[in-house]
Structure 1
């Protein structure tokens, strides 16, 4: 069965590719500057956050494509939902750690509190809300 091409989906794919290319170039430049400065922690941060973002995009796309009505697909969507939440929580914690490290302690406490509330809120919305 031939699938008809959707021009809107083709445009979206092009935007996603352009975004991933921009993300790759930006991360490569950040990693290069961190290596040149001898900052191994920043190299690790850039590398892990880049990998997590790519995995997040991959899992979100797989979640979109999974059939919602089949029982086996429903289990796969649930696994993908867990992976998406875990990656979002990882990225939130990593960026909170990076930002909080350069802030005075009262502001750093607020940054960590915002990260915790964001992750907890995401958990509630993704797993505890009743779905129609």
Structure 2
């Protein structure tokens, strides 16, 4: 347990300032987008921003936990990888839905195809490829 705490401290110390600045900027941007959408009365956009921000935070938290857990905790790491892939797929689908909504149907079809290929490739790379 102590070794795990030292790893967390080492990871936090390595990029603490830049990571903190990114978190502040990400939060401020999402708050501004939520405020603008709420002021315009666009409930769907408010929900989109809140859900995508929450999914991004969860994904980053799971990625950090994956980095910290030792390779011996293979079952725990596998569960974290599954969660990260599911959240990446959710974010990909959400952004494809938003982008495809403002495109013509042939371009929207291309956006959805790209999202599907990206998610499928992520699945293959994360779960089906052999590791050394």
Q: Normalized against structure 2, the TM-score is what?
A: 0.91
Give 5+ residue unaligned stretches, structure 2.
none
Post-superposition, which runs of at least 4 consecutive aligned residues in structure 1 deviate over 6 A? none
**Partner residue, 1:15:** 18
Structure 1 residues 76 and 11: CA distance shift in structure 2, 3 A: closer
Higher RCO, Cα 8 Å, sep 6+: 2
Aligned length: 128
Paired with 2:61 and 2:129, the residues of 1 have a C-alpha distance of: 24
Q: CA deviation at 1:85?
A: 0.1
Cα deviation per residue 1:59-93 (whole Å; 9 max; x = unaligned)? 0000000100x2xx100000000000000000000
Structure 1 residues 9 and 31: CA distance shift in structure 2, 3 A: closer
Paired with 2:24 and 2:62, the residues of 1 have a C-alpha distance of: 18
Give 5+ residue unaligned stretches, structure 1.
none
Q: Normalized against structure 1, the TM-score is what?
A: 0.91
**Secondary structure of 1:86's aligned partner:** helix
Paired with 1:62 and 1:9, the residues of 2 have a C-alpha distance of: 12
Residues 1:90 and 2:93 aligned together? no
1:32 paired residue among 17, 35, 38: 35
Q: CA deviation at 1:17?
A: 1.3
Paired with 1:9 and 1:60, the residues of 2 have a C-alpha distance of: 13
Residues 1:62 and 2:77 aligned together? no
Paired with 1:13 and 1:89, the residues of 2 have a C-alpha distance of: 27
- Over aligned residue pairs, what C-alpha RMSD do you find? 1.9
